[in-house]
Amino acid sequence: MSEGAPRDPANASVRLARERRISYFMLFRLGMLALFTVLSGGLAIATEPGVQGRANWLVWGTLVVGYALTIAYARWLPRAKNLSAFAWTQTAIDIVLAAVGVHLSGGLDSGLLMLYPMAVLGAATMGGRRQTWAAAGACAAIFAALSTLEIAGALQPLTLAGEYRTMAPRESVLIIARTIAALVGVTLLSSYLAVQLQASVSQVGNLRALNEDIVRSLSSGLVTLDGADRIRYFNPAAREILGLDDAVVGRSIDSVLPGLPQGSARDRSPRVDVRHVLPDGRAIRVGLTRMPLRDATGNMVGHIINFQDVTQLHELGDRVRRNDRLAALGGMAASVAHEIRNPLAAISGSAELLATAGLGDEDKRLLAIIRRESGRLSDMVRDLLAFTRPRPPEPTRLDLTRSVRETTEAFAADPNNAGIELEFVGASDVEVEVDPVQLGQVLWNLMRNAAEAMNGRGVLRVVVQTEALVARISITDHGGGIPPDRIDSIFDPFFTTKDQGTGFGLAIVHRVVDENGGAIRVRSQLGVGSTFTIEFPRSLPKVDAESSGVLSIE
């Protein structure tokens, strides 16, 4: 699909149809020239040498000119910018060739008088009603003028063989009247058919333009396939949703959109959802239906794939399911945490007292296990209470780049992160309204997870970017990545890939970001690393309430 000035599909269809009609008539002219060549050759062989030699040379010269002009204009037709002028030129050539052919073959006694009606028929085929009547008038005027000169004896036509035959006035008038009547009849019929043809072509062009407008305006993607499942066409929505370009035309659909249902069925396939990775690496969910493409006779000639981007619907469904799980979890966790907290405190206190007593090595080992697991259980209860009874956010207008930089500097200063090389890139003038304490909690949690994914060594990159209405924070590590079958569950409570994890860190991060009006997503590749991206709505700049002019009342 080329860029440039838009073309009217209806006009393009009309031009294509007219080019086809012109090419057909030019082919017909070539056939007539070939027929006349055979006839002229036969007459030249049958005629005695030396008889009407000048006429023979003129006939052969006219045929050569006719061939040359037809071939030249056939090559020019695809590049002709003005088809109307091109068609008028062709009609003028036909009229001249008709007049020359009649004059060289005996004038009124010629057997080629039907060339005049054929020139009118060609005008009707290549042009419209105006061109048809103009050609008929020109043919009638030329024929009448040459015939008058011939009858008056001022012009004597040539013949290919034999002597010129002088006609009686009555016979001449009869031939003229018959030829003019044929011209009028052909003109009336041709002009009527030309009008009907133009109306049909215009209607077909309008219908085609309407169909193209409908397909172009669809908000869902549409891809048509041939019988071998190769892409034949895709609409602008398909280009936008799947990130397609013109190079995919002719390629197999499996190489562009894998995971489709099989195309052997002749009925509409059930709707399926497939995961598709865009050229920029972003993954989306596509809901699609495959159905047979049939021609006017009902024969299946390919398939149609209709699809929509249902990524947001999947995200909304995941959020609803997560909220349902969290609601059920919250009611249970609040009571369970309190029931565990008191005995856990007693166990921890008793373990601390036992540590002061003289114990054997085996008892010390068992006591260390009790203290370690008690601490782990205490951390889990703390995270559980923080998750089920969160503090409501207190949003404040803040400079996002400055807040993120301060958190990254504090993280880099922690001795536990000595092996982490932290890179920070921040945009300027990025203001958002979020809870600064909760933002720091989110960033610290994500950076700690990134450092643990790299086993405490590697480059951690933090980037603050901005668009028209969105501020974006990206945290990228170069760890082992997250398996594709687990990436949809990493924000669920109790889900963890760590041996000692509680499974609440990312769940709390997701809840905090959501409650502050933001969104979080992750992109990961095994062996390469992961990128967590947080987005918050940008705060609009403050507008000073000052007068923009002077109010004058006279």
How far apart (Å, rounded) are the C-alpha atoms in residues 475 and 491?
A: 16
And the tokens for 486?
A: 């687990």
**In the prediction, which pLDDT does 1 show?**
38
pLDDT at 383: 66
pLDDT at 554: 35
pTM, entire model: 0.41
pLDDT < 70 stretches in the chain: 1-14, 43-44, 46-56, 160-164, 197-198, 201-202, 204-205, 208, 259, 261-269, 322-339, 341-342, 380, 382-391, 494-504, 540-554
CB 271 within 8 A of CB 234: no
Q: Which two tokens stand for residue 407?
A: 């958190």
105 Cβ neighbours under 8 A, 6+ residues apart: 59, 111, 112, 157, 158, 159, 160
C-alpha closest to that of 115 among 128, 126, 99: 99
Cβ neighbours of residue 408 under 8 Å, at least 6 residues apart?
A: 422, 424, 443, 447, 462
pLDDT score, position 476:
94
pLDDT at 387: 61
- CA distances in angstroms from 312 to 279, 308, 316, 328, 455, listed in the order given: 19, 11, 6, 24, 34
**CA separation for the pair 248, 470 (Å, rounded):** 33
**What does the pLDDT look like over 414-424, one tens digit per residue?**
888 889 999 99
What pLDDT was estimated at residue 342? 66
Does residue 48 sit in helix, strand or coil?
coil
Strand partners, 399: 431
Q: Cα(first)–Cα(last) distance of the chain, in Å?
A: 62
